[in-house]
Amino acid sequence: MSDSEEDSQDRQLKIVIIGDGASGKTSLATRFAQEAFGKQYKQTIGLDFFLKRITLPGNLNATLQVWDIGGQTIGGKMLDKYIYGAQGVLLVYDITNYQSFENLEDWFGMVKKVNEESEVQPVISLVGNKIDLEHMRTVKADKHQRFCQENGLISHFVSAKTGDSVFLCFQRVAADILGVKLNKAEIEQSQRVVKADIVNYSQEPVARTVNPPRSSMCAVHLQFATAAFLSGPFPKRKEEKVVAGINGGAYWSVLRRRPAVAFTSGVTMPAQVERAQGTPGERGAGPTEKLLRDLPSFFVFFCFKRTVKAAVYGVARAALRSAAERDALQHIWSQGNLTTVCVVVNWWCELAWVFKSLRVEVTLMNRPRCGDSLHPCAKEERERRGDHRSGPPTVNKPLLDQSSPLSQSFHHRGVRTEKRQDSEERLPGTWRDGTVSLPEEAERRGLAGMRDHQGLDQDLGGLLVSRAGGGHRGVRKRWCGFVCTGQALAAIGPSIICDRAGPLSRSFRGRRPPPAALPSERP
Ligand SMILES: Nc1nc2c(ncn2[C@@H]2O[C@H](COP(=O)(O)OP(=O)(O)OP(=O)(O)O)[C@@H](O)[C@H]2O)c(=O)[nH]1
């Protein structure tokens, strides 16, 4: 065969893609080979193949045989065989999932082991995927770069979803294998970003009418989430400007694939409730159910603000009255696969009721404060119950377990005594050796009594003591921290979403391993 004949033939290159499950390997291969992207996660069992022919500078054709290796193969017997003979390796991780980055050591170790005795080493690229989720990044770019420098890897940040730099990533590896140099223009050309489709909802009136709860609810939720994401890490101060920022904060955890205990509707503004689902009380299959269907997990959210309390009140009760939802909640709860508790307290009796229905004991650390004017929904609710006093709606006593610490601590504390606080004020407690201390200020306000609740340092599963406020459209919102004790939280472990920058949070995080046994199982 003459030289020219050989040149005109395609070069076959074996490229393997490895990395943790769900880091986006299949998506990258699909984006590269088929220009497509699927939102649905379908685990790759074993491996999959893709073929794509590309032309490199100098009219050099190459057929890339892409081996998409399932994330679960790590530790399996076949992995070394899959990697063997690869000329190119893409080490993929998800920039929003730190664990997937950490685990690259193992994947990389495997590549090194397989090639220990090879004369020709593969070209290896470190690929940080999902850069469309930059706002959720947990792996800093400099960590990525350091890993590249230390190990002589090519660095890439890509998004299989938007297509950003995906082609370039494969092209670069192929070019390096074949010793071809890409010039600046070629690199820029390959960096094409595929823009997401813009959906014009107003042109889809029929679809919305046919299935209003699903589509509109989803839209509302995503809107919250996006707003919160755009505003930076929860609960940064900017979050105050966001509609339902706190709510979005819960999504923050959900969409980061951290299972979160979830509650209520995720709806904060009565207007949004109405727009999304009709009036709160009318709900049957509520949005919780929707969340359960569509998200990897769901969240608990109680907005601590009287203006929306009525909405939450109606929604939470209606939602959880749906047996299916309650069962689903209990199912998830009982599975013990929850790692995060994200609860923003509103109305303690409501909270007590819901937790009670889940048989979880909750102890509040701070008392709720109310200062906002009563929302019409709340007024209606009060009138319906024949309560004509001013101030917050009365406690719904029948729902409470009067003997619970929560109940006792709040029974006569009057939630309307305190004036509105400065929106940036925080009263973080501290956590040391299983004991919670509240700052002097808290003592002065008579909040300290609450720290002594039984079980606090025993079966404490999680802790959240912080309070923040904000305003949106003239509405003040606030959340207060509390301690959850009991079986469920013990099972969950100490991971709590709260003010992650707060001293309490910092000191708490990672300090206390989940109890080995559930409290009830202890001798
Ligand atoms: N936002 C976003 N999501 C992505 C991106 N790439 C992949 N995903 C999503 O991440 C999930 C997992 O993607 P896969 O490509 O199936 O992950 P994988 O690494 O092949 O997983 P295994 O088959 O288990 O090894 C899917 O839901 C994808 O839609 C991306 O660039 N951006």
Per-residue pLDDT tens over the stretch 484-510: 222 222 222 222 222 233 222 232 233
Q: Ligand 1: does its nearest atom lie under 6 Å from the Cβ of 25? A: yes
Residue written as token pair 């290796």: 69
Mutate to test the pocket of ligand 1, among 17, 27, 69 (most ligand atoms within 8 A of CB): 27
Q: 241-261, pLDDT tens digit by residue?
A: 222 222 333 333 333 333 333
Tell whether the model's pLDDT for residue 221 goes beyond 90: no
More confident residue, 34 or 266: 34
Question: Could you identify the atom of ligand 1 that is nearest to the CA of residue 159?
Answer: 31
More confident residue, 376 or 113: 113
- Expressed in angstroms and rounded, the spacing between residue 25 Cα and the centre of ligand 1 is 6
Q: 434-450, pLDDT tens digit by residue?
A: 333 444 544 444 333 33
- Expressed in angstroms and rounded, the spacing between residue 19 Cα and the centre of ligand 1 is 11
Q: How confident is the model at residue 69 (pLDDT cuts 50, 70, 90)?
A: very high
Contact in structure between 360 and 487 (CB atoms under 8 Å): yes
Q: What integer pLDDT is reported at residue 133 of this predicted model?
A: 81
- Expressed in angstroms and rounded, the spacing between residue 40 Cα and the centre of ligand 1 is 8
Q: Tell me which residue has its CA closest to atom 30 in ligand 1.
A: 130
Q: Name the token pair of 155.
A: 């660095």
Mutate to test the pocket of ligand 1, among 34, 37, 41 (most ligand atoms within 8 A of CB): 41
Q: Ligand 1: does its nearest atom lie under 6 Å from the Cβ of 39? A: yes
Tell whether the torsion through CA atoms of 117, 118, 123 and 128 is positive or negative.
negative
Q: Ligand 1: does its nearest atom lie under 6 Å from the Cβ of 161? A: yes
Q: Tell me which residue has its CA closest to atom 1 in ligand 1.
A: 130
Question: Could you identify the atom of ligand 1 that is nearest to the CA of residue 130?
Answer: 31
Q: 274-301, pLDDT tens digit by residue?
A: 333 333 222 223 333 333 333 322 233 3
Q: Ligand 1: does its nearest atom lie under 6 Å from the Cβ of 94? A: no
- Expressed in angstroms and rounded, the spacing between residue 325 Cα and the centre of ligand 1 is 28
Q: Ligand 1: does its nearest atom lie under 6 Å from the Cβ of 95? A: no
- Expressed in angstroms and rounded, the spacing between residue 292 Cα and the centre of ligand 1 is 20
- Expressed in angstroms and rounded, the spacing between residue 105 Cα and the centre of ligand 1 is 20
User: Among the listed ranges 9-13, 50-54, 60-64, 347-351, which one has the minimum average pLDDT value?
Assistant: 347-351
Q: What integer pLDDT is reported at residue 173 of this predicted model?
A: 93
Q: How confident is the model at residue 39 (pLDDT cuts 50, 70, 90)?
A: confident
Strands 260-261 and 340-341: parallel
Contact in structure between 238 and 258 (CB atoms under 8 Å): no
Distance CA 488, CA 496 (A): 13
Q: What integer pLDDT is reported at residue 345 of this predicted model?
A: 31
Q: What integer pLDDT is reported at residue 241 of this predicted model?
A: 22
Cis peptide before 376 (omega within 30 of 0): no
Q: 88-116, pLDDT tens digit by residue?
A: 999 999 998 888 998 899 899 999 999 98
Distance CA 362, CA 407 (A): 9
Task: Provide the β-strand partners of residue 47.
Answer: 69
Q: Tell me which residue has its CA closest to atom 12 in ligand 1.
A: 22
Q: Ligand 1: does its nearest atom lie under 6 Å from the Cβ of 70? A: yes
Q: Which residues contact 329 (CB under 8 A, 6 or more apart)?
A: 262, 288, 320, 358
Q: How confident is the model at residue 46 (pLDDT cuts 50, 70, 90)?
A: confident
Residue written as token pair 């200062």: 371
Question: Could you identify the atom of ligand 1 that is nearest to the CA of residue 68?
Answer: 20
Distance CA 227, CA 269 (A): 15
- Expressed in angstroms and rounded, the spacing between residue 104 Cα and the centre of ligand 1 is 16
- Closest alpha carbon to 89 in 52, 127, 53, 117: 127
Q: Tell me which residue has its CA closest to atom 22 in ligand 1.
A: 21
Residue type, 9: Q
Q: What is the pTM of this model?
A: 0.45
- Burial-class residue 184 by CB neighbours within 10 Å (0-12, 13-18, 19+): exposed
Tell whether the model's pLDDT for residue 330 goes beyond 90: no
Q: Name the token pair of 68.
A: 């998409």
Q: Ligand 1: does its nearest atom lie under 6 Å from the Cβ of 473? A: no
Q: Ligand 1: does its nearest atom lie under 6 Å from the Cβ of 240? A: no
Q: Ligand 1: does its nearest atom lie under 6 Å from the Cβ of 259? A: no
